């Protein structure tokens, strides 16, 4: 198999193989690494691999590399990382793009909140603290925490309504 044929297979198969790896690993960067390693292995063995079976070889190689990676001890991921992975794991690129736009808009909306509202939102939703814990930390009442959450959610809902209207 020559370089040009291999490049064609690379362009045709990369996205599909990436999504396979992403489903296994739930880590976008690691999935890219596994796919790249699979293509490197295929390139090194290109003389031994029947061109008609290259796609099957690559898929098996990605699967095996992912399974080997999963067998290694892994550091725990944060809740935000898991949410990002779930968003990225969708096979439909247009769906993924829409979700990416929503996530970016949500992050921008959260960054525009007042520092205290952002702090309350992060403590309650990202760190899973109770209203009481957050109230005690900030020296405010639980009703104060609820007001910050209500205000923050209104901003986020408005953000998503704007995105929906653009669609």
87 and 102 both lie in a single domain? no
85 and 103 both lie in a single domain? no
Give the other-Cβ count within 10 Å of 159's Cβ. Answer: 18
The structure's pTM equals 0.45
Which of 32-36, 87-91, 151-155, 156-160 has the least mean pLDDT?
A: 87-91
17 and 83 both lie in a single domain? yes
Backbone angles phi, psi at 145, to 5 degrees: -65, -45
Is the four-CA dihedral 60, 61, 65, 66 of positive or negative sign?
negative
85 and 101 both lie in a single domain? no
Report how many domains make up the chain. Answer: 2
42 and 68 both lie in a single domain? yes
Q: How does residue 92 score in pLDDT terms, banded at 50, 70 and 90?
A: low
Domain end point (choices 66, 91, 116): 91
Q: Kindly state the average pLDDT of the residues 77-87.
A: 61
Domain end point (choices 42, 57, 91): 91
Q: Kindly state the average pLDDT of the residues 22-31.
A: 90
Domain end point (choices 91, 124, 140): 91
Domain range enclosing 123: 97-166
Q: What local confidence, expressed as pLDDT, does residue 32 receive?
A: 94
Flag whether pLDDT at 167 surpasses 80. no
Q: Which residue has the tokens 């193989």?
A: 17
101 and 82 both lie in a single domain? no
Q: What is the CATH classification number for the domain harbouring 156? A: 1.10.10.10
Mean pLDDT of the chain: 83
18 and 53 both lie in a single domain? yes
């Amino acid at each position: 198999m020559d370089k040009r044929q291999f490049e064609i297979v690379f362009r045709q198969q990369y996205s599909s193989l990436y999504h396979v790896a992403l489903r296994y690993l739930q880590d976008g960067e690691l999935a890219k690494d596994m796919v790249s390693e699979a293509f490197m292995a295929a390139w090194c063995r290109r003389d031994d691999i029947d061109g008609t079976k290259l796609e099957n070889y690559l898929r098996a190689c990605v699967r095996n590399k992912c399974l080997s990676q999963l067998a290694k001890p892994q550091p725990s991921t944060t809740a935000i990382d898991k949410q990002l992975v779930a968003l990225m794991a969708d096979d439909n690129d247009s769906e993924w793009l829409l979700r990416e736009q929503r996530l970016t808009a949500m992050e921008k909306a959260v960054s525009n909140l007042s520092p205290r509202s952002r702090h309350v939102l992060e403590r309650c939703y990202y760190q899973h603290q109770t209203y009481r814990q957050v109230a005690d930390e900030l020296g405010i009442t639980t009703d104060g925490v609820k007001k910050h959450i209500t205000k923050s959610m209104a901003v986020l809902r408005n953000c998503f309504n704007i995105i929906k209207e653009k669609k």
